[in-house]
Amino acid sequence: MNDLLAAPYGMGLPLAPGKGSGEGVTQRVALRGDLLDFTAEPAWGEIASDAVRYRADHWLLIENGRIVGAQPEAPDARWSREDHRGRLILPGFIDTHVHMPQLEVIASYGTELLDWLNTYTYPAEMRYADAAHAHAGAQAFVAALLAHGTTAAMVFPTVHKVSVDALFAAAQRRGMRLITGKVLQDRHSPDGLRDDVAQAERDCLELIERWHGTDRLAYAVTVRFAPTSTPAQLAMAGALCATDASLYLQTHVAENRAEVAWVRELFPRARSYLDVYADAGLLHARSVLAHGVWLDAADRAALAGAGAQIAHSPSSNLFLGSGLFDWDAAARAGAAVSLATDVGGGTSLSMLRTMADAYKVQAMAGQRLTAWTALHAATRGAARALCLDAEIGTLEAGASADVCVWDRAADPVAQRRMAVARSLHEQAFAWLTMADDRNLVATFVAGVAQHRRADPATPLLPT
C-alpha cells in the first residue's frame, strides 16, 4: 500500500538528506488548477476587488519547498506534475486561535463560557500532565488541522510544560509553521492547572531556548485570560515580551459579559479589560487576542495603535452565546482581524465553516461580510498580522509552499449551485458557505503532501 495513504490522515513526511531524498537534488512539483490568493487587503464590502488574484488553469511551480512562480503552460519533464483542473488551489489556512486539548470537549452541551471552562475544559486539560496523553493528543491535533486545510496555527496547549514540548514536536515533524507556549494561570484554577510565577518563568525560558526560532516554530507568551493570572504573573509575562520583540503574546479578551464583569472586579483601576493587558506590557505588534466581542471605541483604537490583532472566533461566540463581534467597527478603527476556530468552544476545525459563521454574525448586525474579506482574514491577512506575510498566506513567488487543493463541490446540491454561479465572488461565496473538509483534496506543507483525501478520483466540475 502507498505509505502516504496508509499513514493517519494521509500523512506524508519529508525525507531527511541522505535517507532517500537524494541529498542536494532539486525537488520540483507543479500543481495545475485555478489559483486564488490576494495581493492586498480587500476593502470592506467590496465584491469586485483588485486585491483578488485569480489565475484560472495555471500551474503553480514549487521548488525545494518554496513557490517559484505560476504559468498557464505545462512545465517540462523536470517537474513532477499533478493535474487538478477545475479545482481551486489556495494558500493553506491560518488558524489564529485554537486549543489543542479541547478536541476532547468539542460539542459539549449547555453552558456559557465560565461554567463551560469548569465543567468541560479544565478536566480535559488536566489529562495533559501525562506525557503519553500529551504526545498522542498533539499528534492527533496536528493531523486534524492538516485534514481541514489548516497549515499554520497559533495554539493554546495547557499549563503543563510537557504539553508544549509535545505540540512543538508534532508540528516540527510535519514541517508546519506553528506558534504556541505554556499556558500561564496561577489563580482561580483547579488543582493540577495552577502554576506559580517563579516556576512558570523558568519553564517559559527553557521552552523559548529550546523551540523559539527552531525550524518553523515560534514561542508565544500565553496568558489564559486576566482572571486566572495574578498581577505578578501578568507583569512577568510582560517582562518576557519586553526582553525579546520576536516573541508572540496570545490570550483572551472581552469574550463574555460575565467574564468582563469579573475582570472589572479583579482589576478595578483598569479602564477596560484590554487595559489590563496594556498596563502589563502585553499589547504589542505580535499580540493576538481572541474574541474581543465586548470592546469599545477606545479599545479598538488601542489595538490599532499597538498593531495587535483580534482573533475573531464566530463559531465559538455563537455556540457559547457570548455575543456578536463588530468586525466593521474594528476595520474602520484600523484594528487587524483574523479568523479562528477556537475549538473546543468552536464546533469545527474547518476554517470554511468558521467563515460561514462569520458571515452570519455580521448579518445579525446588518453587515454583509464578503468572501474576499473572509478568505483574506484566513490567509494573507492573518499572515500579515502575525508578521509572517513574506512566508505564508500567499501564492507569491518566494513563499513557503503551504497550499491546499479544493473541490468546488462535494455533493449534488453544491454541484447544482456551482453550475449556475456567475461571478467569481458568487462562486467563492457559495464555495466557502457550503464546503467543508470533504472538499479538501490535498494539503501541502513546504511542498510536501501532508494530507490526501482517500478518494481523489471525485468527479471534477466544469470550470
pLDDT digits (tens, 9 = 90+) for 264-317: 999 999 999 999 999 999 999 999 999 999 999 999 999 999 999 999 999 999
pLDDT of 183 strictly over 80 = yes
Q: What mean pLDDT is predicted for residues 29-50?
A: 97
Got the DSSP string for 355-384? HHHHHHHHHHTT----HHHHHHHTTHHHHH
Q: How far apart are CA 230 and CA 236, in angstroms?
A: 10
Q: What is the mean pLDDT of the chain?
A: 92
What does the pLDDT read at residue 241?
98
Q: What mean pLDDT is predicted for residues 429-450?
A: 97
What does the pLDDT read at residue 5?
24
The C-alpha cell that represents 94 in the structure block: 491560518
Q: How far apart are CA 437 and CA 440, in angstroms?
A: 5
Q: Counting every residue, how long is the chain?
A: 463
pLDDT of 20 strictly over 60 = no
- Whether cis (ω within 30° of 0) applies to the bond prior to 344 is yes
Query: How many CB atoms lie under 10 A from the CB of residue 8?
Result: 11
DSSP state of 129: G
Give residue-wise pLDDT tens across range 76-114: 999 999 999 999 999 999 999 999 999 888 888 878 878
Q: What mean pLDDT is predicted for residues 162-190?
A: 98
Residue 23 — very low, low, confident or very high, per pLDDT cuts 50/70/90?
A: low
Looking only at the bridges linking them, the beta strands covering 403-406 and 80-91 are antiparallel
What does the pLDDT read at residue 25?
84
pLDDT of 18 strictly over 60 = no
Q: How far apart are CA 203 and CA 207, in angstroms?
A: 6
What does the pLDDT read at residue 136?
97
pLDDT of 375 strictly over 50 = yes
What does the pLDDT read at residue 260?
97
**Please, how many CA atoms are within 13 Å of residue 116, restricted to the half-sphere of its CB?**
23
Q: What mean pLDDT is predicted for residues 160-177?
A: 98
Q: How far apart are CA 371 and CA 145, in angstroms?
A: 22
Q: Which residues contact 463 (CB under 8 A, 6 or more apart)?
A: 34, 56, 57, 85, 86
pLDDT of 17 strictly over 70 = no
- Quote the crossing angle between the two packed helices 161-174 and 197-211, to the nearest 10°: 20
Give residue-wise pLDDT tens across range 445-458: 999 999 999 864 44
Spell out the domains of the chain, with CATH numbers in brackets: 3-92+397-452 (2.30.40.10), 93-385 (3.20.20.140)
Query: How many CB atoms lie under 10 A from the CB of residue 57?
Result: 12
Q: 3-class SS at 324?
A: coil
Q: What mean pLDDT is predicted for residues 67-73?
A: 98
**Please, how many CA atoms are within 13 Å of residue 115, restricted to the half-sphere of its CB?**
8
What b/e string do you get for 439-454 counting C-beta neighbours within 10 Å, with b at 16 or more?
Answer: bbbbbbbbbbbbbbbe
Q: Which residues contact 328 (CB under 8 A, 6 or more apart)?
A: 44, 362, 365, 367
pTM, whole model, 2 decimals?
A: 0.93
What are the C-alpha distances in Å from 159 to residues 190, 286, 326, 387? 12, 21, 31, 26
What does the pLDDT read at residue 115?
83
The C-alpha cell that represents 126 in the structure block: 488536566
Q: Which of 50, 52, 26 is nearest to 38 (CA)?
A: 52
Assess contact for 35 and 70: CB atoms under 8 A: yes
Helices (H), 147-196: 161-174
What does the pLDDT read at residue 288?
98
The C-alpha cell that represents 35 in the structure block: 489559483
What does the pLDDT read at residue 256?
94
